[in-house]
């Protein structure tokens, strides 16, 4: 199926690169390419075999030479969108690409909407919705684990799992309907018993899938992490150690990290969305005060809080605001007993003492206390391990697991569970098979929303609008 108009967009990232690609999709894609591209070996691009890389030149309408290029034509349905697709690969300069793109518009192409190529692939049945969504996840993956999770979905593993569940539901419906149609055959009880067992199994399967949603979402969006601690505790040093580069400013002057720095980093395959925040202490300086307040709100909302304590000094009342803040945090807490290179020699503060103090100050949910030296690097491995354990709880293997990573998918699964609960209640109430079938049909339809088989157009548009242009 070809859409009524041909779209065009720059498919490569903005900026300079060795190669840049303008991609066209739709009925007029080849005609448009023909107008701007001349094969070096002569003739027209349509004379050449499809899917062959043809070298040539791009000329503007007035005959001016624009660039050298490789042109590849992919004929429908053997293309990403299942429509005629042309890729014009020229030099990756922003001006070259913009001029070429503008020319394709003048020749009749329309600017592609965000995600429109993938949307066409979806509408033409080349990808289902979970696969289409995983295309974006693949592009945006920040770690190998995140990429692996996306790859599984791109290959259709989530769709397969959903498909199996829906198939099961249809099987139960078929049996129930047979027992309605042939009441004399005495299969009624068997069908109802089977339905009860299957509904329970399906409920468990949906639950399992839903359990992967939190990890899936973390892999996709990053674990929102806040580093907090008193000024000079070593927050910036820890951030630098974790990032492996001098990203934050490290100084001896208390209160120099006044604003928050946000950074993605990869820790043992898990993307952390990290905020290094201003040191927490009472201050009269207005700018610093704003920074401190920001730190408080970051920490309260973060999924993971790394609380840095300067272990080379005994704990004092000045630490109370930190304990107070930690007692208000909703995420998991890892306390870093920092400067262990100094404190161990002098034996100032141990992890156990910190743990006891935390308990005394009513800070619950301390996942672990780790002895670390932000300066020399010891303890970093333990920190990585702790974070990994915390996210996966030792359960999930991204390479093998099917994972849900999207709030919409998780929401549908939750609704499907409710519908299965309802089916169970109908079964228990002894109502006739017709009612069970109605409930099961709703669950079947609901699950179909994940793969996009039963979904409104508005929702589909909304999903693709989150894509980047050119994809």
* Closest to ligand GDP by CB, 118 or 232: 232
The rounded distance, in Å, linking the Cα atoms of 280 and 228 is 7
Asked if 342 interacts with ligand GDP (CB under 6 A), we say yes
Stretch that binds ligand GDP, among 166-174, 204-212, 216-224, 230-238 (CB under 6 A): 230-238
Kindly give, in sequence order, each residue whose CB lies less than 8 Å from that of residue 279, ignoring residues fewer than 6 positions away.
229, 230, 231, 232, 233, 235, 254, 255, 257, 292, 295
Task: Please identify, using beta-carbon distances, which residue of 209 and 309 lies nearer to ligand GDP.
Answer: 309
Neighbours of 204 (CB within 10 A): 11
Number of Cβ within a 10 Å radius of residue 306: 28
Residue 304's nearest CA partner among 216, 388, 371, 407 is 388
Shortest Cβ distance from residue 252 to ligand GDP (Å)?
5
Using CA of residue 82, residue 86, residue 89, residue 92, what is the dihedral sign? Answer: negative
Q: How far is the CB of 279 from ligand GDP (least distance, A)?
A: 5
Under the binding rule (CB under 6 A), the answer on residue 235 touching ligand GDP is: yes
The least distance separating ligand GDP from the CB of residue 324, rounded to whole angstroms, comes to 18
Strand partners, 228: 307
| In the complex, least distance from residue 255 CB atom to ligand GDP, rounded to whole angstroms | 8
Determine contact, residues 108/34, Cβ cutoff 8 Å: no
CB of 340: closest distance to ligand GDP in angstroms? 7
Does residue 231 belong to the site contacting ligand GDP (CB under 6 A)? Answer: yes
Contact present, 305 and 329 (Cβ < 8 Å): yes
Over the window 356 to 395, marking each residue x when it contacts ligand GDP by CB under 6 A and - when it does not, the resulting string is -----------------xxx--------------------
Between 310 and 406, CB nearer to ligand GDP: 310
291 lies in the binding site for ligand GDP (CB under 6 A): no
Closest residue to ligand GDP in the complex (CB): 234
Tokens 């973060």 locate to: 302
Distance CA 389, CA 4 (A): 51
Question: Does residue 263 contact residue 251 with C-beta atoms inside 8 Å?
Answer: no
Check binding of 12 to ligand GDP (CB under 6 A). Answer: no
Identity of the residue, 342 or 441, whose beta carbon is nearer to ligand GDP in the bound complex: 342
User: Using the rule CB under 6 A, is 338 a contact of ligand GDP?
Assistant: yes
DSSP one-letter code for 278: P
Q: From the CB of 375, what's the least distance to ligand GDP, in Å?
A: 3
Interface residues for ligand GDP in 22-41 (CB under 6 A)?
none
CB 56 within 8 A of CB 66: no
Rounded distance between C-alpha atoms, residue 417 and residue 411, angstroms? 10
**Min CB(385)–ligand GDP separation in Å:** 19
* Nearest distance in Å: CB 389, ligand GDP: 23
Length of the chain: 471
Residue 148: closest CA among 394, 403, 464: 403
Q: Does 294 bind ligand GDP (CB under 6 A)?
A: no
- Binding positions for ligand GDP, 239-258, rule CB under 6 A: 250-252, 257
3-state secondary structure of 363: coil
Q: Per CB under 6 A, which region of 135-143, 151-159, 229-237, 359-367 contacts ligand GDP?
A: 229-237
Closer by beta carbon to ligand GDP, 241 or else 272: 241
Nearest to residue 147, comparing CAs of 449, 403, 469? 403
Residues at the interface with ligand GDP (CB under 6 A): 229, 231-237, 250-252, 257, 279, 338-339, 341-342, 373-375
């Amino acid at each position: 199926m070809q859409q009524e108009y041909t779209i065009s967009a720059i498919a490569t990232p903005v900026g300079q690169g060795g190669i840049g690609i303008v991609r066209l999709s739709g009925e007029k894609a080849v005609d448009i390419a023909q107008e701007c591209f001349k094969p070096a070996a002569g003739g027209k691009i349509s004379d050449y075999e499809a899917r062959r890389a043809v070298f040539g030149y791009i000329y503007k309408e007035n005959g001016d030479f624009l660039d050298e290029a490789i042109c590849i034509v992919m004929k429908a349905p053997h293309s990403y969108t299942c429509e005629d697709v042309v890729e014009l690969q020229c030099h990756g300069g922003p001006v070259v690409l913009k001029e070429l793109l503008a020319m394709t518009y003048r020749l009749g192409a329309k600017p592609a909407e965000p995600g429109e190529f993938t949307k066409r692939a979806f509408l033409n049945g080349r990808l289902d919705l979970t696969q289409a969504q995983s295309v974006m996840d693949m592009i945006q993956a920040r770690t190998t684990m995140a990429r692996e999770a996306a790859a599984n979905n791109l290959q259709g593993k989530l769709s397969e799992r959903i498909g199996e569940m829906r198939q099961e539901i249809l099987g139960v419906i078929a049996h129930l309907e047979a027992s309605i149609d042939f009441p004399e055959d005495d299969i009624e009880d068997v069908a109802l018993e089977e339905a009860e067992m299957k509904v329970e199994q399906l409920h468990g399967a949906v639950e399992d899938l839903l359990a992967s949603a939190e990890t899936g979402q973390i892999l996709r969006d990053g674990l929102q992490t806040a580093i907090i601690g008193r000024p000079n505790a070593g927050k910036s040093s820890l951030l630098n150690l974790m990032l492996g580069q001098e990203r934050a400013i490290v100084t001896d002057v208390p209160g120099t990290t006044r604003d928050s720095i946000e950074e993605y980093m990869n820790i043992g395959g898990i993307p952390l969305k990290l905020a290094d925040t201003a040191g927490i202490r009472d201050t009269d300086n207005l700018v610093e005060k704003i920074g401190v307040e920001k730190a408080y709100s970051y920490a309260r909302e973060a999924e993971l809080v790394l609380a840095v304590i300067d272990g080379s000094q005994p704990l004092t009342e000045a630490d109370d605001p930190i304990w107070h803040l930690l007692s208000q945090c909703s995420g998991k807490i890892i306390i870093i007993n920092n400067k262990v290179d100094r404190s161990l020699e002098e034996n100032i503060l141990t992890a156990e003492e910190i743990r006891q103090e935390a308990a005394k100050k009513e800070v619950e949910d301390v996942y672990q206390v780790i002895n670390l030296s932000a300066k020399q690097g010891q303890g970093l491995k333990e920190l990585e391990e702790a974070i990994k354990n915390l996210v996966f709880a030792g359960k999930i293997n991204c390479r093998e697991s099917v994972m849900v990573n999207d709030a919409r998918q998780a929401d549908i699964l939750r609704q499907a569970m409710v519908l299965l609960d309802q089916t169970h209640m109908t079964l228990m109430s002894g109502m006739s098979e017709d009612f069970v079938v109605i409930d099961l049909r709703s669950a079947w339809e609901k699950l179909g929303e994940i793969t996009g088989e039963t979904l409104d157009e508005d929702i589909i548009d909304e999903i693709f609008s989150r894509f980047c242009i050119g994809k």
